[in-house]
Chain A
Amino acid sequence: MFLALTLHQFTDQFINGVTLGMLYILVALGLNIILGLMGVINYSHGSFFMLGAYVAYSLDPVVGFWGSILLAALIIGAFGMLFESTLIRPLYRRIPEYTLLLTYGTALIFEQIVRRIWGDDAVRFELPERFSGTLTVGNSQFPLYKDVMLVGITILVLALVWFLINRTNIGMIIRAGTRDAEMVRILGINMPMMFTLVFGIGSFMAGLAGALAAPVYAIQPTLASEWVILTFVIVIVGGIGSFWGAIVGGLLIGIVSSLMDLLWPPAVEMTGFLIMAIILLIRPRGLFGVEGLFE
């Protein structure tokens, strides 16, 4: 009986970890594409995630549940493009560290704006009645939205991004640009436009993750800094500029930290960092990282 219970708890936490990992992947992959192609460390990426959640929360009464999620992601994506073309673009001639400095400053501003508009306290985005049920498979029950829809949508988006990067012309340019942006520019590609587009895609993914997470996690102004640091850890674990790195890193950290919740709750927040420390010892560039990128 005892063993059965723990096994049951184990599966539960494992699935929780997968859900969390999916959101991590969405956020981290967006950051990683931006970082890999442009060498921009976007500290405000966590703010885009947070803004996605808040915008979806505000739009929900107007356009309905799915509409609010899609629209929030699109708004954040467009906002990201505006952000890149006005604030980040002047910094490309400088060393990459300046992008971290700039986006750190803007993250402070975004946090205060959110506090000004939505207040200091957490808000709750209620899941519609029809999605709050469970799906029964065999004798296990899965929350319909959290474990089925959220995971399904994420996999769909990841597949689309994979297709975009690996099977389209734009993707070819992105991949080539990650290796040698200057060469691609010389070949006549409009790199500034590509950069803006990629930044938009990355922001879209962060906004989408935020909107999808909104009904499941509490939405509060401290979300941004919590998530951005974890996202950095995932990118370091997976390796800068690597598609599969972000996926493996996100799942690894999501699952292990959820399981840690069973084993030793005080250490949950530390899990990601410990995994990172161990992986850095073995592979300094992360699991799938390439040496010499942006160093």
Chain B
Amino acid sequence: MNRVVRSPLLWTALVLAILPWLLPGANPFAGRAGFIDLGTTIAIFALFAMGFNLLFGHIGDLSFGHAMFFTIGAYATALFTKGFNVTVGSANLVWGGADSFFGSMALSLALGAALAFLLARLIVPRSSGIYFSMITLAFAQVVYFFTYKWDAFTGGEDGIQAIARPSLPGFAQSYLNASWHFYYFSAIVIFIALAILWWVIESPFGSVCHAIRENEQRAEFLGYDVRKYRVNAFFISALFPAIAGCLWTYYQQSITPDAGSIEYSGRVVMMSLLGGIQTFFGPMLGSFIYWQLQNDVSQITKYWEAVIGAVFVVFVLIAPRGIWGAVEDIEHYGLRSAVQRVFSRRARLETEMAEEVVSRAP
């Protein structure tokens, strides 16, 4: 029973089910469309950030370019739904467009996987640490300029507008046009994706990832092929942003090159860190906080990004384990020691030594 109650999947389902009501000021009976939209945004970015966090929080590689997979999923969906007519060299490629959620999802995943496969083999084995962060950033910029510059194919700066939401078998054509219906439809998709992510993290594979994060050398000495695990983790973590991108296009019903910009990559980094990187729920919490902040602060000042930047800087400096990490610290050390640990190195050493003593006692 306890296991069921503490199961993160149960909580994920619960949070996704009640998210639109969780937002401060949300009233389920009046003016709910706005909260539903915010809720959809939060849920989609939660998936994006949690996929990213598999790499950053669980194996320790900071990718600063995960928006490239997001934008690939988004554009694949947009072009698959709207169709295109483009000339490459002497070949004329024409696609009439199609209305199929599973088709666009499969295409998003396939293209995201193809890019991830290529990059995983090209850059992951060759770079780690800060090289890795800078190189992923640079490659994301290549994808961004592709969507930005190739007018004939991607619509250039204006992007692609008026993308119809898909029709589902057994439902009316315009069923998903209602915000409510679309929210719960994407919540189900996101839940399935997160269930898979949870399964990956809880698997032996995930445990080895944690070992690599904590001490790469030691994991290597234990006989694990660190490089192989890093390649695989990169590949898997790229698939979730692609799914999120697919949902994002359907939600927005339009797409612009911004989706692949450094701002989007940075956004999920910030969400993960605000929520707590070494946890499963952290990025979801971070997505909630980020969009809630954005929503509130942007009503006060048009320079809201500075406020979010400042909040982020404070977190990096004093609470790098994020809110969820701070909650865990308080649970573990008690409120007083947890606060002391933030400001004093001595307190950190003392609490850790006390633990060492306890754990070594017979």
Inter-chain contact B127/A284, CB cutoff 8 Å: yes
**For residue A127, which residues in chain B have a CB less than 8 angstroms away from its CB?**
none
Kindly state whether residue A23 has any CB partner on chain B within 8 Å.
Answer: no
A-B contact count (CB 8 A): 120
CA distance A266 to B262 in the complex (A): 20
Per-residue interface assignment for chain B, residues 224 to 264, with 1 indicating a CB less than 8 Å from any chain A CB and 0 otherwise: 00000000000000000000000000000000000000100
* B127 / chain A contacts, CB cutoff of 8 Å: 280, 284, 295
* Chain A residues touching B, range: 35 or more
Q: Does A111 contact B (CB under 8 A)?
A: yes
Binding stretch for chain B, among A49-57, A89-97, A143-151 = A89-97
The answer to whether A41 and B133 have CB atoms under 8 Å apart is yes
Asked if B34 lies at the interface with its beta carbon under 8 angstroms from chain A, I say no
Beyond A39-B130, A235-B134, A273-B139, whether A94 also contacts B320 by CB under 8 A is: yes
The interface size of chain B toward A, counting residues with CB under 8 Å, comes to 39
Q: Is the Cβ of B134 less than 8 Å from the Cβ of A273?
A: no
Judged by a CB distance under 8 angstroms, whether B89 is at the interface is: no
State whether A109 and B317 are in contact (beta carbons under 8 Å apart), knowing that A101-B273, A116-B303 are contacts in the complex: no
Task: Check A100 for interface membership: any CB of B closer than 8 A.
Answer: yes
CA distance A141 to B133 in the complex (A): 43
In the assembly, what is the distance between CA of A236 and CA of B141, in Å?
14
Let me know if B138 is at the binding interface, CB within 8 A. yes
Which residues of the other chain, A, contact B309 by a CB distance below 8 angstroms? 105-109, 112
Shortest B49–chain A CB gap in Å is: 14
Give Cα distance in the complex from A111 to B307, angstroms: 12
Given the complex, which residues of B lie within 8 Å of A266, measured CB to CB?
149-150
The interface residues of chain B lying within 8 Å CB-to-CB of A96 are 129-130
Q: A233-245 CB contact bits vs B (8 Å, 1 = yes)? A: 1011000100000
Say whether B76 faces chain A, with CB atoms less than 8 Å apart: no
Point out the residues of chain B lying under 8 angstroms from A94, CB to CB.
320
B123 located at the interface, meaning its Cβ lies under 8 Å from any Cβ of chain A in the complex = yes
> B130 and A102: CB pair below 8 A?
no
B 301-326 to A, binary, CB cutoff 8 A, 1 in contact else 0: 00101101110110011001000000
The contact of B320 among A98, A235, A267, by CB within 8 Å, is A98
The answer to whether A104 touches B135, judged by C-beta atoms less than 8 angstroms apart, is no
CB pair B138–A233 under 8 Å, yes or no, is yes
A270 within 8 A of B: yes
Please give me the residue from chain A that is nearest to B216 by CB atom: A295
Q: A229 contacts the other chain (Cβ, under 8 Å)?
A: yes
User: Are the CB atoms of A109 and B313 closer together than 8 Å?
Assistant: yes
Partner of B310, one of A35, A107, A109, A116: A109
- B residues within 8 A CB of A106? 309, 313
B305 and A294 contacting across the interface, CB-CB below 8 Å: no
Residue of A at shortest CB range from B318? Answer: A90
Contact pattern, A 273-294, Cβ under 8 Å of B = 1, otherwise 0? 1101100110011000000001
Within 8 Å CB of A167, what residues of B? none
Are A229 and B141 interface neighbours, CB within 8 A?
yes
B131 CB within 8 Å of chain A: yes
CA distance A285 to B128 in the complex (A): 11
What separation, in Å, do the CA atoms of A41 and B309 have in the docked complex? Answer: 17
Given contacts A109-B306, A229-B141, contact A97 B130 (CB under 8 A): yes
- Show 28 A/B contacts (Cβ-Cβ < 8 Å), sorted by A: A39-B130, A94-B320, A100-B130, A101-B62, A104-B269, A105-B270, A105-B309, A105-B310, A108-B266, A109-B313, A112-B309, A232-B138, A236-B131, A236-B134, A236-B138, A266-B150, A269-B145, A270-B145, A270-B149, A273-B141, A274-B142, A276-B138, A277-B142, A280-B126, A281-B122, A285-B131, A294-B129, A295-B127
By Cβ-Cβ distance, the 10 closest A-B pairs, closest first, are A108-B309, A112-B306, A284-B126, A295-B129, A105-B312, A105-B313, A112-B303, A109-B309, A97-B62, A273-B142
